[in-house]
Structure 1
């Protein structure tokens, strides 16, 4: 392996910067989808900007066309696009929760008509009382699954909704881990200090592959969305795992790529080393870890900000799809690309680590999506906005 240090301090290997956009000073970017020449970008939202829309028909010159704002106390940092519908989450904003007295927020899922991408129009809303929706998967109309909330539960759980009429979304099913429905007399059975909650699920066929935070990996049978059924759960162990974020099925293979999110920031962070794992699901009732991705080499743990994995390119329909190439965001270690042709020994094949944005203390690459032409759209939640990268090698 060799690294190229670019003049501005960027550490890069086999990837180069095509363009960057800081979104008119609102660079606190998170989730990103690209659809029909437009990029839809979610924000942390502490300054009320929730979603940005950019024209990326020329990806070397992205152009901001509009920005949507959030209600008080709310952030909408996740986006999903199918056809002419944009979904954004509404969730209690932890950045505005220092004083809960008198604070309100919007909790649920907002539906926008984007037939005119430069002028999105909200047409529907699904309320999820409580904390709200954290993340959702909307890959094929009319169904969406999400981490949502309701009164009487300890935390967010799995919710499925029908958008056949996008002006009136309807919940059609829900599932939670035993112990979460406290209002029904259920008592948590997990260890003190651990958080069992639904973070994110990815759908393949009749299965939902979910990251359930400290509960690990959960596989659900969703052949009947009104009654999701547990297939299996894999607890990676508190001593080596926590904050399990995403479980992505690898196209054409009985494998999942599972990320744990680094949640502690700064040198000397009191967090265990978080990992990306390959899990064999050839027997879905007994998922088994077969390897871990290599930890990025460098002094990233000594740098400001979070240092470790977060999310990956989820290979949603219409995007870049591969049975061997995996793109992962690593906060201050930037974007890393891996080859899993040999699942027992994943190999790093590219990376891109720019310096922190001007006025910011750390790089924090958060989310990534890759278009069919191989261009990489990656976000920096710490202020850098949207980066568009292109590979210098063939990634298949």
Structure 2
């Protein structure tokens, strides 16, 4: 199973090997670690690590927290996205996908079922499941599950680690988020793996990561219509500028004799799609790369002091170039970074967000830690999210074995960690699922700003509501 997943993931992304850095490469430093206040149960090793000895002694079973407190827990599995939404009646709901890779997780979810879970979050301390969405895309949305708040539309494309036929499901959640209403199921997504919404909610973007990009006009969500498609591109997650005219694509790169190379950020001019012109054309404004990259996952837009930025995150490590596949321990962990895109034709990296566990000089000593030896788990990043687009102070990141990490980004050039929460699964507790040990935090978190809380899911242990404490939550004000 592990070998199969690695090979499938190899189709999804691959970049140049760590050996290409050379001994003189100045690798970015780890972000300053959080200073824990009262009530902490801090990590026992360096930043982000859960060492094997903590499993042996039972310490890992207690979990780790710093300036956080668990408010609620639901279920025993999770996927790639968590969303929060309040409908026009005032109901507040959570939506999260319950699987990582379909059909790998079917046996583990035999009791609870697969699909997208809907929770009534009227009382965040007592989540109440009101529905499970099991239409084709919702059974296996992979990384495509996205919410457009402006129109109250929840959408996903049938996908998996490489790709699936892109069946697009669109639900109305504005009327009653506790019971989403299916508006359409169509093959308009072409192929499925990742996705993006235009801010106005009139265009849904679908990418397969192996060869395709498609834009779907959903002005009428009952009749989605593909309006642009492109083959031969390997794009991962996609987000758009506030006016919807620039698309920020996590560019996996181009296949070649040494693996997939040339990845990073690609900024596309999608103004003709946004304007709903007939036969729209899409052009490339710029490409940006960084030497420590692994697999670019997604870039979330935000602004501060009148400038536009992206919070970009890489997933996993550089496993799938030839050198990376044979020596994954020495392969780079891209983690995350802040990119200035005020001039979309000349983007530039202004800072990095990393844990000590991501650093090359630490990785060789982690191979005995539960979960660290599985390439699609390990100490690496996967998704980050922001509480708002305009001047956010915090960013929350799911960093797989290291759990949920929270960073202060008020100074975009000098981010610092301010909180974390991690509930590893003890080995042997979930025997139906391969690699069910340690944390498996893969989801883009959601934010409950009013209650100073973060919602996220862990593939091994389920959905969590986590409150920020010791003054960290005030940074959401």
Structure ranking higher in helix proportion: 2
Q: What residue in structure 2 maps to residue 234 of structure 1?
A: 288
Match of 2:211 among 134, 142, 155: 155
Moved more, 70-79 or 161-170: 70-79
- The 1:273–1:352 alpha-carbon spacing in structure 2 relative to 1, beyond 3 Å, is same
Contact 2:382-2:398 at 8 Å conserved across structures = yes
Match of 2:154 among 77, 86, 92: 86
Match of 2:421 among 325, 329, 352: 352
Contact 2:264-2:290 at 8 Å conserved across structures = yes
Match of 1:254 among 301, 305, 308: 308
Shift of 1:385: 1.2
CA–CA distance in structure 2, aligned partners of residues 53 and 73 of structure 1: 11
CA–CA distance in structure 2, aligned partners of residues 73 and 338 of structure 1: 31
> Are residue 112 (structure 1) and residue 188 (structure 2) matched?
no
User: Cα deviations across residues 196-235 of structure 1 (Å, max 9, x unaligned)?
Assistant: 6111111122221121124210111222113222110112
Contact 2:146-2:195 at 8 Å conserved across structures = no
Shift of 1:371: 2.6
CA–CA distance in structure 1, aligned partners of residues 418 and 73 of structure 2: 23
Contact 2:297-2:382 at 8 Å conserved across structures = yes
Shift of 1:281: 2.1
Contact 1:156-1:199 at 8 Å conserved across structures = no
- The 1:286–1:76 alpha-carbon spacing in structure 2 relative to 1, beyond 3 Å, is same
Secondary structure of the residue aligned to 1:249 is strand
5+ residue gaps, structure 2, are: 1-33, 43-58, 87-91, 107-112, 254-262, 274-279, 320-324, 372-376, 431-435
Q: Which structure exhibits the higher relative contact order, with contacts defined as CA atoms closer than 8 Å and separated by 6 or more residues?
A: 2
Alignment: residue pair count:
354
Give the aligned CA root-mean-square deviation in angstroms: 3.0
> Are residue 326 (structure 1) and residue 361 (structure 2) matched?
no
TM-score, normalising length from structure 2?
0.67
- The 1:72–1:199 alpha-carbon spacing in structure 2 relative to 1, beyond 3 Å, is closer
Matches within 5 A, 1:1-396: 1-3=34-36, 4-5=40-41, 9-22=62-75, 25=76, 27-36=77-86, 37-44=92-99, 45-46=102-103, 47=106, 49-69=114-134, 71=136, 75-77=140-142, 78-81=144-147, 82=149, 83-92=151-160, 106-114=165-173, 115-128=175-188, 131-137=191-197, 139-148=199-208, 155-157=211-213, 159-175=214-230, 180=232, 197-204=234-241, 205=243, 206-214=245-253, 215-225=263-273, 226-237=280-291, 240-252=292-304, 253-262=307-316, 269=329, 271-296=331-356, 301-302=366-367, 303=369, 304=371, 305-315=377-387, 322-356=391-425, 358-359=429-430, 360-367=436-443, 368-373=445-450, 374-381=452-459, 383-392=460-469, 393=471, 394-396=474-476
Contact 1:356-1:362 at 8 Å conserved across structures = yes
Secondary structure of the residue aligned to 2:412 is coil
Shift of 1:128: 4.6
CA–CA distance in structure 1, aligned partners of residues 212 and 386 of structure 2: 21
Shift of 1:144: 2.0
CA–CA distance in structure 2, aligned partners of residues 282 and 85 of structure 1: 29
- The 1:365–1:144 alpha-carbon spacing in structure 2 relative to 1, beyond 3 Å, is same
CA–CA distance in structure 1, aligned partners of residues 283 and 119 of structure 2: 39
